[in-house]
Amino acid sequence: MTRLHSGNPLPEISDPVRAMLDSMAAWTGAPEDEAQCPVRDVLDRVGQKWTLLILVALEPSPKRFSQLQRQVGDISKRMLTQTLRQLERDGMVSRQVFPTKPPSVEYALTDLGRSALAPIGALLVWADSNHETIRASREAFDAEEVS
Amino acid sequence: MTRLHSGNPLPEISDPVRAMLDSMAAWTGAPEDEAQCPVRDVLDRVGQKWTLLILVALEPSPKRFSQLQRQVGDISKRMLTQTLRQLERDGMVSRQVFPTKPPSVEYALTDLGRSALAPIGALLVWADSNHETIRASREAFDAEEVS
DNA sequence: GAGATATGGTCTCATAAATAGACCGACTAT
DNA sequence: ATAGTCGGTCTATTTATGAGACCATATCTC
């Protein structure tokens, strides 16, 4: 994996983002309106472990089922199918079947899916930039736990 | 990238972000270097379901354990403890114990934690902007499944 | 013709993770 | 006395994830 890392940019929070964060933080916990809360809803999907990996894998070009499985590597067919279905349902990914000799199915990002990659990518850049700091912090934490 | 809807902001992918995405997508699946891959590493944490909620809850001001539990609402103590420990270990959150009559423990964002909220917030803004589209897509998908 | 390979899945079963909720010891307020 | 607050831990149950067998069809190899 390539390292784009160069120093630690600690990005500022922009005004619209701050407004969003504040409005979320102001909202005091209520489990019942789970479905109402767009943030919870989308966060749950993001938290699906494979979702982001698949979106990223599809970014350069559409891919077929087994191509995806090879690329993501350690995903089971079951999880790949499930995650793709969810993404299709959410309108992030399109599914097209070609009636070739052994049937082939092509998955591609929709405009919506592609648009999600902007904020997701920003998060990944953050992850890459600050991974070293995090790793060091963990080491320090574990060291003093033992003592 | 084409903009379909004038209403929904479908953000462009910036060059550094695209570079990141491409370098990830180029990387073909290997489970062994899990720990080596900063993206997988951080993604796993982000995918923890409660992690983001807690970071967001701490953004306006530091909070105490039971304050957090009330705010997030439907989180169990066990998960709250666990998530806070992880965040502390990662250096995103600080934990300070005050020896008051009933002991009080205050959790606060570190600079690193705060910096994470910029990309996270962007994701939440995206979620909020596109939730309606997603909801509609799901409805359509479910409708034709039944037929 | 037998065997291996590839396609996109589904199905079952085992394991890992999340959840609810009881419990704890020290203290306070009623 | 009784109940409640504080920050947790512990156990038992539900849920999610993972490994891998299986399927029908077709091609390529021996």
Give the CA diameter of chain A: 64
Mean pLDDT for A50-71 is 92
Rounded Cα distance between A67 and A48, Å, is 20
Q: Which residues pair with B93 in a beta bridge?
A: B109
Rounded Cα distance between A67 and A63, Å, is 6
Nearest protein residue to the C1' atom of C26, measured from CA: B102
pLDDT at B144: 80
In a domain, A7, yes or no: no
Residue A10 has pLDDT above 70, yes or no: no
HSE-up (13 A, CA, CB side) for residue A46: 29
In a domain, A2, yes or no: no
In a domain, B65, yes or no: yes
Q: Which residues pair with B98 in a beta bridge?
A: B104
A-contacting residues of B 43-62, CB under 8 Å? 43-44, 46-49, 52-53, 56-57, 59-60
pLDDT at A8: 52
Tens of pLDDT, residue by residue over A110-127, are 999 999 999 999 988 998
Q: Does B7 touch chain A (CB under 8 A)?
A: no
In a domain, A15, yes or no: no
Residue A18 CB closer than 7 angstroms to strand D? no
Residue B103 has pLDDT above 90, yes or no: no
Q: Say which of A22, A30, A52 has its CB closest to residue B43.
A: A52
The answer to whether the beta carbons of residues A137 and B110 sit under 8 Å apart is no
Mean pLDDT for B34-55 is 77
Nearest protein residue to the C1' atom of C12, measured from CA: A78
Rounded Cα distance between B83 and B99, Å, is 23
Phi then psi for residue A3, to 5 deg, are -110, 120
In a domain, B26, yes or no: no
- Give residue A114's domain range: 37-146
In a domain, A85, yes or no: yes
In a domain, A134, yes or no: yes
Domain count, chain B: 1
Nucleotide nearest to B68 (CA to C1'): D7
> The domain spanning residue A76 has which CATH number?
1.10.10.10
Residue B30 has pLDDT above 60, yes or no: no
C1' (D13) to CA (A34) span, angstroms = 23
Rounded Cα distance between B36 and A4, Å, is 15
Residue A42 has pLDDT above 90, yes or no: no
Residue A33 has pLDDT above 60, yes or no: no
Nucleotide nearest to A101 (CA to C1'): D26
Chain A residue whose CA is closest to B22: A60
Long-range contact set of residues A29-32: C-beta below 8 Å, sequence gap at least 24: A29/B70, A29/B71, A29/B72, A29/B73, A29/B74, A29/B75, A30/B73, A31/B73, A31/B74
Residue A72 has pLDDT above 90, yes or no: no
Using 50, 70 and 90 to split pLDDT, how confident is the model at B57?
very high
Using 50, 70 and 90 to split pLDDT, how confident is the model at A101?
confident
Mean pLDDT for B84-97 is 95
Cβ–Cβ gap B29/A59 under 8 Å: no
Average pLDDT, chain B: 83
Rounded Cα distance between B18 and B1, Å, is 12
Which amino acid would we find at residue A102? P
In a domain, A62, yes or no: yes
pLDDT at A147: 61
* Higher-confidence position of A21 and A138: A138
Which amino acid would we find at residue B62? P
A-contacting residues of B 88-147, CB under 8 Å? 88-92, 111-112, 114-128, 130-131, 133-134, 136-138, 141-142
Q: Three-state SS for A97?
A: strand
Cβ–Cβ gap A111/B10 under 8 Å: yes
Which amino acid would we find at residue A44? D
